[in-house]
C-alpha cells in the first residue's frame, strides 16, 4: 500500500541522514537529538547503525526530516 502524503515513502534512512547533515550539520542535529553518534566523532555509518536499532531516536530524526521537507519541498 502506498501513502502519497507520507514524505518518508521510498526514502532511505541514509538519505534522511545525509540531507539533515547537509542542512543542519552534526552540531545542530546533536542539539535536537542528543545522541552520542551525533556528538562524538559523528559519521553517517555509525549513526545508521544506532538509528536502525533505536526506534525513539529514529523517530526524532525522521521528524526533523519531515519538518525540513515541509518548509523546503
Band of pLDDT at residue 16, cut at 50, 70 and 90: very high
Q: How is residue 47 written as a grid cell?
A: 549513526
DSSP notation for 25-65 = HHHHHHHHS--HHHHSS--HHHHHHHHHT-HHHHHHHHHHH
pLDDT tens column, 47-72: 999 999 999 999 999 999 999 888 87
Element (H, E) at 16: helix 13-23
Q: What is the dihedral of CA 69, 49, 55, 70, to 10 degrees?
A: 0
The CATH-assigned architecture of domain 13-71 is Orthogonal Bundle (1.10)
The model's pTM is 0.85
Amino acid at each position: 500500500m502506498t501513502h502519497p502524503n507520507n514524505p518518508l515513502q521510498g526514502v532511505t534512512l541514509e538519505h534522511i541522514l545525509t540531507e539533515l547533515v547537509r542542512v543542519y550539520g552534526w552540531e545542530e542535529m546533536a542539539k535536537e537529538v542528543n545522541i552520542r553518534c551525533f556528538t562524538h566523532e559523528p559519521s553517517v555509518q555509525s549513526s545508521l547503525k544506532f538509528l536502525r536499532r533505536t526506534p525513539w531516536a529514529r523517530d526524532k530524526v525522521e521528524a526533523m526530516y519531515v519538518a525540513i521537507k515541509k518548509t523546503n519541498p
